[in-house]
Amino acid sequence: MQKLGILLIALFITTFSQAQDAKTLLKEVSAKAKSYDNISIDFKYNLNNSKENVNQETRGDVTLQGDKYVLNMLGTTRIFDGKNIYTIVPEDEEVTISAYNPKDDKEITPSKMLTFYEKGYTYKMDIEQNVKGRKIQYIKLIPIDSKAEIKDILLGIDVQTKHIYKLIQTDDKGTKYTLTVNSFKTNQPVSKTLFTFDETKYKKDGYYINKL
């Protein structure tokens, strides 16, 4: 009984220590991300569900400045100017405009990509990998909300730069979403109109404007 007690105490200390280490690293990542004027990321995105025999892979890029972003992926451009989301689909010559409501935003959107873990998760240190000489430390995040669709998230962090290298999200249906950062650039020259949607331009080009 005494040995069991000692083992439980040791396990508690180890778990607490790992949680503190994970918390410290995440704070450093968040502080680093918020220190930049803007961030441009080129990434690879994979969606996999072995049970459904689904495996899709694509590439994309996103530019972030505060909460604002421009995301290019799957032939679609999405602009968020801080108030509205503009989804531009050139193939259909259509633009959908929707007002942003934080209460409805439960996904890891581009504007939350580098800070989403600050609330709503427990976390602990996971595996460590060497990727082409870079030390990548993974942290496992589990939603506090037991009804969340997300089962867990593995966040791979470059220990030297404190930049996110990989995000692996698994949902309760077994679908795995993996985002791998190919390039992470900061404080790039950004046009003042990058996050501004010019409705007149798209109307002139014959686009259908759908306002929700």
Global pTM reads: 0.81
Tell me whether residue 4 is in a domain: no
pLDDT recorded at residue 36: 92
Half-sphere exposure of 151 (CA within 13 A, CB side): 10
For residue 98, is it within any domain?
yes
**Cβ proximity of 63 and 190 under 8 Å:** yes
* Residue 78 belongs to some domain of the structure: yes
The CATH number linked to 58 is: 2.50.20.10
pLDDT of the residue at 3? 44
Tally of structural domains, the chain = 1
CA distance linking residue 132 with residue 139, whole number of Å: 20
The 10s digit of each residue's pLDDT in 108-140 is 566 677 777 778 888 889 989 999 899 999 999
Six token digits for residue 108:
């890891």
pLDDT for 134 equals 93
Supply the range of the domain harboring residue 113: 19-211
113: left (phi over 0), alpha (psi -120 to 50) or beta: alpha
C-alpha distances in Å from residue 145, one per residue of 70, 141, 148, 177: 30, 12, 5, 20
Instruction: Classify residue 6: in a domain, yes or no.
Output: no
Residue 171 placed within a domain: yes
Q: Would residue 5 count as lying in a domain? A: no
In a domain, 72, yes or no: yes
Q: Is position 167 within any domain?
A: yes
Pair type for strands 39-49 and 176-186: antiparallel
